[in-house]
């Protein structure tokens, strides 16, 4: 049964866009062997439209009296059935945050509490590549307590997101999920050797804004889209790090508190592209409005949004933190505090 999720009033550019409805029958429940998930720190979708969920396993111990702890990585097929699950939490690292499935089906994982990124075989059985040492951070003393260096090397400090260039295998990492860690976009080659890096752009009036590249995605036309979470915008670069565009993501408040800033959450948290060949639209998780914002990718103009705002009922979100779009245009949203994934299906508004 599909339940309508009302969209905000669309702009003139939204006439060809569908409405998005919640698919209550996806995923198929219960997951696995009576599994209980913790916060879903991130997600990704592969070329077969399989959805990969990153389960942080942060559950209350007493809840496991009636359930089994779900594995760290859960793979669902298009019907919402679990087809695989895997992962050693000690090897993967803490604060699972983002993933990417490359053209060969290999699964790239980012754990934000670490100094490395990893590449696994399609079934998760083999660790194929680790970029960065597991016992080291890119800091002044090599520990998490040290001063961030942002050095020219393939070692990270609280990385946030990853994508892989299908043309040459270069690996793009948004390195800087929390204050105190790094704050750069780093590029390494397919063997894990450092190539180049750059920082988020700051203007003269923004010197106090912490640079936290919270998400990163490569478009098919060779641009790098980075969530500048603290500035409530998306910054767009070419692959060499030349700044091309800023896309503002609106911050609004219904609170009577005056002068509130986006703080740790922000309005540009994570994004994915629409499924059409031109990738005409961006789907952006806005943790301020607690909705999915749809933006025109070229102009950056707001088109529409969907979701019912904050809450724990179907169609609402509680700290949404991951988003993916499959080849059919279905949109998946993974929630950190809501500890669930929801699927939104495009439907003809007429």
pLDDT along the chain (350 residues), means of 10: 46 69 97 96 98 97 95 98 98 98 98 98 98 98 98 98 98 96 98 98 91 97 97 97 96 54 76 98 96 97 96 97 98 98 92
Residue 281's nearest CA partner among 293, 268, 267, 270 is: 293
Residue 187's nearest CA partner among 220, 202, 157, 165 is: 165
Strands 35-36 and 68-69: parallel
The 3-state DSSP composition of the chain as helix, strand, coil percent (nearest 5) reads 5, 40, 55
The pLDDT assigned to 250 comes to 87
The domain limits of the chain are 1-45+218-235+247-350
Cβ neighbours of residue 223 under 8 Å, at least 6 residues apart? 236, 237, 238, 239, 244
Q: In 125-159, which positions are buried (b, 16+ CB within 10 angstroms) versus exposed (e)? A: eeeeebbbeeeebbbeebeeeeebbbbeebbbbbb
Rounded distance between C-alpha atoms, residue 315 and residue 35, angstroms: 22
Token output for 307: 């979701």
The pLDDT assigned to 348 comes to 85
Token output for 9: 């009033």
Residue 322's nearest CA partner among 302, 312, 337 is: 337
Rounded distance between C-alpha atoms, residue 40 and residue 252, angstroms: 25
Residue 83's nearest CA partner among 46, 137, 129, 42 is: 46
The pLDDT assigned to 142 comes to 98
**In terms of C-beta density within 10 A (0-12 exposed, 13-18 middle, 19 or more buried), how is residue 108 classed?**
buried
The predicted model scores a pTM of 0.94
Rounded distance between C-alpha atoms, residue 323 and residue 181, angstroms: 24
Distances (CA, A) of 268 to 214, 216, 230, 305: 8, 11, 8, 13
């Amino acid at each position: 049964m599909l339940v309508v999720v009302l969209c905000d009033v669309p702009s003139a550019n939204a006439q060809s866009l569908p409405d998005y409805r919640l698919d209550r029958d996806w995923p198929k429940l219960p997951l696995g062997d009576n599994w209980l998930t913790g916060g879903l720190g991130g997600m990704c979708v592969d070329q077969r439209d399989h959805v990969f969920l990153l389960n942080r396993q942060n559950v209350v111990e007493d809840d496991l009296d009636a359930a089994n702890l779900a594995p760290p990585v859960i793979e669902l097929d298009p019907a919402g059935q679990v087809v695989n699950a895997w992962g050693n939490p000690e090897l993967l690292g803490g604060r699972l945050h983002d993933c990417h499935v490359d053209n060969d089906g290999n699964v790239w994982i980012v754990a934000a509490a670490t100094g490395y990124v990893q590449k696994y075989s399609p079934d998760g059985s083999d660790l194929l590549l680790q970029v960065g040492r597991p016992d080291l951070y890119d800091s002044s003393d090599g520990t998490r307590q040290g001063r961030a260096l942002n050095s020219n090397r393939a070692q990270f400090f609280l990385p946030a997101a990853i994508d892989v260039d299908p043309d040459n295998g270069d690996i793009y990492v948004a390195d800087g999920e929390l204050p105190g860690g790094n704050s750069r976009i780093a590029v390494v080659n397919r063997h894990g050797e450092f190539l180049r890096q750059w920082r988020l752009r700051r203007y003269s009036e923004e010197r106090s804004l912490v640079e936290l590249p919270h998400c990163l995605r490569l478009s098919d036309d060779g641009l790098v889209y980075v969530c500048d979470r603290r500035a409530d915008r998306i910054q767009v670069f070419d692959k060499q790090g030349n700044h091309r565009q800023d896309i503002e993501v609106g911050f609004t408040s219904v609170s009577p508190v005056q002068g509130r800033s986006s703080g740790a959450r922000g309005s540009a948290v994570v994004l994915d592209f629409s499924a059409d060949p031109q990738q005409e639209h961006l789907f952006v998780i806005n943790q301020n409005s607690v909705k999915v914002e749809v933006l025109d990718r070229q102009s950056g103009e707001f088109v529409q949004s969907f979701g019912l705002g904050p809450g724990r009922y179907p169609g609402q979100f509680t700290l949404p933190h991951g988003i993916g779009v499959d080849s059919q245009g279905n949109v998946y949203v993974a929630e950190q505090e809501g500890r669930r994934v929801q699927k939104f299906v495009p439907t003809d508004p007429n």
